[in-house]
Structure 1
Amino acid sequence: MGDHSPASPSDAPAPFSDSAAPPPVPTETKSHADHHQDVPVHTKEEEQLPRIKAPTPRPTFMEHLADSRETQFHLHRQDSSELDRYFHGPRDMDKHSKWPIFMRMHGSVTPKMILPMLLVALWATLITCISHFLHDLGVNDILLTVLGFVVGLALSFRSSTAYERWADGRKYWSQLIQTSRNLARTIWVNTGEREGELGKVDLLRKLSAMNLILAFGVALKHKLRFEPDIAYEDLAGLVGYLDTFARDAHDHSVVHPKPKSTLKSTGEYLGVSFAESNPRKLIKRSKKPLGHLPLEILNHLSAYIDSCVDNGTLKSGLHQSQAITMMSTLNEVLTGTERVLDTPLPSAYSIAIAQISWIYVLVLPFQLYQFLHWITIPASVVAAYIIIGLATIGSEIENPFGQDVNDLPLDTYCRQIALELDIMTATPPPKVDDFMEREDNLVMFPLSQSGYSEWHDRSVEDIRAALKAKVVASPTPSGNPTAMSDTSTILGNESMSKQSV
Structure 2
Amino acid sequence: MAPSIPLNRRHTLNLEDYFAGPRNMDKHSKWPLFMQMHGSILPKMIVPLIWMSAWSACVTCIYEVAKKNIAVNSILLTVLGFVVSTGLSFRGSTAYERYAEGRRFFATLVTSSQALGRIFWIHAKVLPNVDVRKQMLYKISAMNLVVAYAISLKHSLRFEPYTAYQDIEHLVGHLDTFAKSATSTMPLNGGVGKKNFFKSIGDYLGLSFAASNPRKQLKKAEKPLGNLPLEILNHLAVTIDDLVSRGQLPVPMQQTLAYNNLAALNDAYTGCQRVLNTPLPIAYGILFQQITWLYVVLLPFQMVAVLHWITIPATTVASYIILGLLFIGQEIENPFGHDVNDLPLDSYCEQIALDMDIIASHSNYKPEDFFFSSENVPLWPVSGAAADTWLQRSESKLAETIRTKPNKTFEWRRWRGDKLGDEESAKND
Find the partner of 1:112 among 26, 34, 44.
44
- Candidates 1, 23, 32, aligned match of 1:100: 32
Following the alignment from structure 1 to structure 2, what is the Cα–Cα distance between the partners of residues 434 and 345? Answer: 56
- The 1-side partners of 2:237 and 2:9 are apart by 36
**Aligned equivalents of 1:440, 1:104: Cα separation in 2:** 47
**In 2 relative to 1, CA 146–106 (structure 1 residues): closer, same or farther, beyond 3 Å?**
same
Aligned 1:297-446 pairs, distance under 5 A: 297-446=232-381
* 2-structure distance, mates of 1:277, 1:482: 61
Does 1:222 pair with 2:222? no
1:242 pairs with 2:175: yes
For residue 125 of structure 2, the aligned residue among 159, 180, 192 is 192
Under a length normalisation based on structure 2, what TM-score does the superposition of the two structures give?
0.92
- 2:268 and 2:21 map into 1 onto residues whose CA distance is 27
One-letter amino acid matched to 2:161: P
Matched, 1:126 2:58: yes
Q: Secondary structure at the match of 1:447?
A: coil
C-alpha distance in structure 2 between counterparts of 1:460 and 1:306, whole Å: 47
Distance (whole Å) between structure 1 residues aligned to residue 38 and residue 44 of structure 2: 13
CA-CA distance at 1:81 after TM superposition: 6.6
The RMSD of aligned alpha carbons is: 2.2
Hey, what does 2:215 align to over in structure 1? 280
Cα separation, 1, equivalents of 2:287 and 2:416 = 66
The structure that has the greater radius of gyration is 1
Instruction: Give the structure 2 partner of residue 210 of structure 1.
Output: 143
**Aligned mates of 2:44, 2:101 — CA distance in 1:** 25
Aligned with residue 82 of structure 2, among 135, 145, 149:
149
Q: Is the 8 A contact 2:21 2:342 kept in 1?
A: no
The percent identity for this pair of structures is: 48
Q: Check the 8 A contact 2:52/2:319 in 1, yes or no.
A: yes
C-alpha contact 2:296 2:319 (8 A) present in aligned 1: yes
Which residue of structure 2 lines up, in the alignment, with residue 174 of structure 1? 107
Contact map agreement 1:211 1:238 (CA 8 A) in 2: yes
Structure 1 residues 179-232: Cα deviation after superposition (integer angstroms, max 9, x where no partner) = 111111111111111124343322211111100011111100000111001011
* Residue in 2 that maps onto 1:264: 199
Instruction: Give the letter aligned to residue 83 of structure 1.
Output: L
SS for the counterpart of 2:290 is helix
Per-residue CA deviation, residues 85-140 of structure 1 (Å, 9 max, x unaligned), is 24544411111111121221111121221111122122212222222224201111
Structure 2 stretches of 5 or more lacking a match? 419-429
Question: Could you give the per-residue CA deviations for residues 244-276 of structure 1, whole angstroms, max 9, x where no partner exists?
Answer: 000000014453733211011111111111000
* 1:169–1:400 contact (8 Å) kept in structure 2: yes
C-alpha distance in structure 2 between counterparts of 1:116 and 1:277, whole Å: 20
Q: Residue 88 of structure 1 contacts residue 106 of structure 1 at CA under 8 Å; is this kept in 2?
A: no
- Does the CA contact (< 8 Å) of 1:90 and 1:404 recur in 2? yes
Asked if the contact 1:89/1:106 (under 8 Å) is kept, the reply is: no
Counterpart amino acid of residue 357 in structure 2: D
In the TM superposition, residue 478 of structure 1 has moved relative to its aligned partner by 7.1
Q: What residue number does 2:425 align with?
A: none
Q: Distance in 2 between matches of 1:336 and 1:219?
A: 15
Structure 2: distance between partners of 1:336 and 1:324: 18
SS for the counterpart of 2:229 is helix
1:159 counterpart residue number: 92
8 Å CA contact retained: 1:305, 1:323: yes
Deviation at 1:461, TM superposition (A): 2.5
Q: CA deviation at 1:446?
A: 2.5
Which segment drifts farther, 113-122 or 261-270?
A: 113-122
Q: Deviations over 1:256-304 (max 9, x none)?
A: 7332110111111111110001101111111111111111111101101
Distance in 1 (alpha carbons) for counterparts of 2:155 and 2:357: 22
* TM-score of the superposed pair, with normalisation by structure 1: 0.79
- Matched with 1:48 is none
1:381 Cα deviation from its structure 2 partner: 1.2
Report if the CA contact (8 A) 2:95-2:330 is conserved.
yes
Instruction: Measure, in 2, the Cα distance between the counterparts of 1:237 and 1:328.
Output: 25
- The match for 2:421 is none
**SS at the partner of 1:401?**
coil
| Conserved? CA contact 1:166–1:399, under 8 Å | yes
Query: SS where residue 471 of structure 1 aligns?
Result: helix
Q: Does the residue aligned with 2:339 lie in a helix, a strand or coil?
A: coil
- Is the Cα contact below 8 Å between 1:91 and 1:409 reproduced in 2? yes
* CA distance in 1 between partners of 2:163 and 2:120 (Å): 25
Q: 1:229 touches 1:246 (CA, 8 Å); kept in 2?
A: yes
Q: Residue 228 of structure 2 aligns with which residue?
A: 293
Change (3 A) 1:482 1:175: closer
Whole-Å Cα distance in 2 between the matches of residues 91 and 117 of structure 1? 24
> Is this contact kept in 2: 1:87–1:105, CA < 8 A?
no
Higher mean C-alpha deviation, range 229-238 or range 470-479: 470-479
Corresponding position of 1:490: none
The separation in 2 between residues aligned to 1:434 and 1:476, in whole angstroms, is 32
